[in-house]
């Protein structure tokens, strides 16, 4: 059965300052997603926060870029923004750059990371969230996870991984993309992803069968708004185990600042 995992986030207001998220905001979002689950739009969900960002983690069967899923997230953020302003939270609705939903939440401010895959009997997934940084913050950790055998021994000993992984890199300024195959093209890959403000690893695929392994959000708020409206707060989704890096191999890159 193919399942879609959607992680959509937005800064709708901080408590206190930009440091955290108000419990009433989280409760409102949970109620909205629970309504969606009961009417069959979602399979499951989890609501959490990273700093002052509201994070919606949702599973469903509707594929990536689905209008109903994106509208659910947008409407939830709009309602949360109204509550944030009522509570006088800091920077209410900061990430919502548009006033009306137009069919897809991309380009409207919130960050989006989605992947569709055939669910395994056990499907370990790790969701990383960051606050006050840039989308390219995941470049180095993703390289370590999927291209460095000293970090991920599975690249050498796992038959499903030994052919390497394919990295899809976005140029967020010119709106172009390029792919690199590891291990053959890791030098070229590193030449790009070192410029984290411009080049961002969007997706990683297993070369053996083209299976999706990881996806990140690549939205740059300042480029969308045409002015500085706050730092970017990226999210990252990584599949783990049995043909993908183990949990320890996924978390190990973050042991080095």
**Residue 132: which of 202, 9, 234, 236 has the closest Cα?**
234
Selected catalytic residue, list 2, 38, 88, 228: 228
187 is catalytic: no
Bridge-based pairing state of the strands 2-11 and 53-60:
antiparallel
Strands (E), the chain: 2-11, 44-50, 53-60, 111-118, 125-129, 165-171, 176-181, 199-206, 212-216, 235-239
The pair of structure tokens assigned to 127 is 């969701």
82 is catalytic: no
Selected catalytic residue, list 30, 82, 106, 231: 231
The pair of structure tokens assigned to 217 is 């959000």
DSSP state letters, 82-115: HHHHHTT-BTTTTT---SS--S--TTSSSEEEEE
- CB–CB of 97/38 below 8 Å? no
228 is catalytic: yes
Selected catalytic residue, list 11, 53, 131, 232: 11
Question: What's the sign of the alpha-carbon dihedral 134, 141, 177, 193?
Answer: positive
Q: Which residues are catalytic?
A: 11, 228, 231
């Amino acid at each position: 059965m193919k399942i879609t995992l959607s992680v959509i986030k937005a800064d709708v207001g901080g408590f206190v300052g930009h440091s955290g998220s108000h419990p009433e905001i989280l409760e409102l979002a949970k109620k909205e997603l629970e309504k969606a689950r009961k009417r069959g739009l979602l399979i499951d969900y989890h609501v959490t926060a990273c700093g002052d960002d509201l994070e919606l983690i949702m599973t469903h069967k509707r594929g990536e870029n689905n209008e109903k899923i994106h509208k659910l997230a947008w409407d939830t953020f709009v309602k949360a923004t109204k509550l944030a302003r009522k509570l006088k939270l800091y920077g209410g609705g900061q990430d919502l750059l548009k006033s009306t939903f137009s069919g897809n939440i991309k380009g409207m401010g919130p960050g989006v990371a989605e992947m569709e895959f055939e669910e395994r009997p056990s499907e370990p997934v790790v969701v990383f969230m960051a606050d006050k940084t840039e989308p390219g913050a995941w470049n180095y950790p993703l390289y370590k996870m999927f291209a460095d055998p000293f970090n991920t021994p599975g690249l050498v000993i796992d038959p499903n991984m030994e052919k390497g992984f394919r990295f899809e890199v976005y140029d967020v300024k010119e709106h172009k993309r390029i792919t690199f195959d590891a291990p053959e093209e890791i030098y070229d890959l590193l030449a790009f992803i070192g410029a984290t403000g411009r080049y961002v690893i969007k997706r990683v695929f297993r070369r053996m069968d083209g299976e999706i392994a990881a996806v990140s959000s690549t939205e740059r708020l300042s480029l969308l708004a045409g002015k500085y409206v706050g730092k970017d707060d990226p999210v990252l989704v990584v599949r783990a185990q049995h043909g993908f890096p183990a949990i320890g191999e996924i978390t190990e890159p973050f042991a080095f600042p």
